[in-house]
Structure 1
C-alpha cells in the first residue's frame, strides 16, 4: 500500500516515516528550535560543563541530539549516550563506565572513582573531552541526580573536563528547581527549552520534505496545512504521522491535493491507533 501511494504522489521515498538512518544534513529541517539548540550544544562543547535541554515529546530533542552526536570529531570527543534513565544507581554507573570503555568493579564507590579517573585521563593525557548524553532524564532517580554534581567535581580543580547533557520533558525543569537539587542546578551552564515547530514553519517543513523525495508540486493546500498545525501542537513527530495518513487517505480517494477534509479523516484514524 505504501509503495502504491508513493507512486501515486510521485514520491521517490516517504520522508515522513521514521527510519534508522542517522540524521544527515540533507534530512535536517533547520527549524528555529534546531538552529538554537545546535548553537547551544556547540557552545557547550567548547566551554564544557552541564547543559539542560527540555521539551515535550516529539519536539525534536532526540533528533537534534543525535545529529549533534553524529557530527562530533571522534579524535577530540568521546561520546557516551545513555537512552534509558529508568535504571538503578548502580546500573547507571555501570552504563557510564562501559561507555567510557571501563570494566566496572562491583562497588559503586569504586566505579565512581574509576569514572572520574577515566574522565581526567582522557582530558589531560589524550586531549579528548567526554560528552555524556542522558536522554529521558526526567526519569532519573533522585540519588543519581544527587551524584551527578559530585561526579563532575574534581577535587579542588574548578576546571570542567567533561560535558554532561541532560535531556528530557519539561517536568525535568520542575524537578531540578527543588531545593534538594539546588547545587546541581547551579552548575548548569546552558538551559534550552524546545518550543516545537511554529505555525509558519509547518509549510516550510512539509515543502522541504516533499522536495527531498522528488516532489515539487503543491500537494497540501493552505487550509490543510493550517489544520495539520492545529492537530499537532508543534510536534514534528505528530506532523509526520498525520501527513503519512493524509497521503494514504488522499490516495484512497484519488485526490489531487490534500484538503482539510482529508486532514480530519487522517486525524480520526490516528486517534484510533
Structure 2
C-alpha cells in the first residue's frame, strides 16, 4: 500500500519470521552461536527464553537457515498445546520424516510413534543429516506428561551420540516448568536468553529492516532522530512492538504525504491506534 511512497520493494515491518530480517544484536549473535554449538557438537538439548515478541521464532528460523537445509532435517513445532504425548510425537515425526506419514490409527499410539521416530532419526543420521526439533512457545505446555515425552526422545542415541538436538523456546516461565522435570532439566546443556533491544540497537534494527526492504540509502531519512527515540520509548525495545508501530507510522505518513516520519507522527499513531 505504502511501498512506492517510501521507495520499498516490500513492507519492512511485517510480524512474520523471515530470516532475512533478523537483526543480529550482540545478544542475538550470542544465542545463535550457542544454539549452533549445541547442534553441531551433539549436546542434546538447548533452551532459549525471552519475553513475548523479542524474536525467538525468527531466530530459530535463521538458525536452521545458517545450518543449511541440505544438512539438517528439522521439526519446528509451534504452540504445542497438545492434550496427549502422542499428538506432540506425531508433529515431531511429521517434521523429521522425509516422506509423508500415512494416517493410520496405529500411528496415534505413542509407542508406535516412538519406534517410527527412532527409525527416522537413524536413517537421517546415516544420510549425514542433523536431526533438530524446535519446540516453540514451550512455556504453553501445561501437562507434565508432555515434558516427560520430550525427555524421553533424548534417549535416542547411536554410538554414544544423541540422534537429535532438542531446542526449547519459550517465555521466562519456561525455566520453572523445565526445572519441575529434573531429568529433563539436567539434560539442558545450553541456556540462553533474549531481552529488549537497547536504544542504539533499536535504531540499527529499524535501519536494517529498511535496507532489506529495498529503501535507497540516499535522500531523506524515513524516520528522523526524534521519531526513532519515540519508537524506542513506546516499544521498550521489543521487536514486535517496534514492527507494529513503525508499520502504522509508515501507513499514516503515506496518507499524509509525509517525506519523513517525525516524533509528532509517531505520537499521533500511538494515540489513534490505541497502542499505548
TM-score (norm 1): 0.86
**Residue matched to 2:5:** 8
The 5-angstrom pairing of residues 65-144 of structure 1 reads 65-88=60-83, 89-101=85-97, 105-123=107-125, 125-140=126-141, 141-144=143-146
2: distance between equivalents of 1:51 and 1:152?
Answer: 12
Q: Is the Cα contact below 8 Å between 1:52 and 1:165 reproduced in 2? A: yes
With over 3 angstroms needed to count, the CA separation of the structure-2 counterparts of 1:220 and 1:85, relative to structure 1, is: same
With over 3 angstroms needed to count, the CA separation of the structure-2 counterparts of 1:90 and 1:219, relative to structure 1, is: same
With over 3 angstroms needed to count, the CA separation of the structure-2 counterparts of 1:218 and 1:110, relative to structure 1, is: same
Q: Is the Cα contact below 8 Å between 2:121 and 2:131 reproduced in 1? A: yes
Q: Is the Cα contact below 8 Å between 1:33 and 1:196 reproduced in 2? A: no
2: distance between equivalents of 1:199 and 1:183?
Answer: 40
Give 1:50 shift. 0.4
TM-score (norm 2): 0.85
**Residue matched to 2:263:** 260
Deviations 1:32-73 (A, max 9, x none): 232122111211111221010111121111111111223433
Which blocks of at least 5 consecutive residues in structure 2 are unaligned? none
- 1:251 is aligned to 2:254: yes
Q: Is the Cα contact below 8 Å between 2:224 and 2:260 reproduced in 1? A: yes
Give 1:158 shift. 4.7
Give 1:243 shift. 0.9
Give 1:157 shift. 6.8
With over 3 angstroms needed to count, the CA separation of the structure-2 counterparts of 1:19 and 1:137, relative to structure 1, is: closer
How many residues align? The count is 264
1: distance between equivalents of 2:233 and 2:138?
Answer: 29
With over 3 angstroms needed to count, the CA separation of the structure-2 counterparts of 1:205 and 1:40, relative to structure 1, is: same
The 5-angstrom pairing of residues 177-192 of structure 1 reads 177-178=179-180, 181-192=181-192
RMSD: 2.5
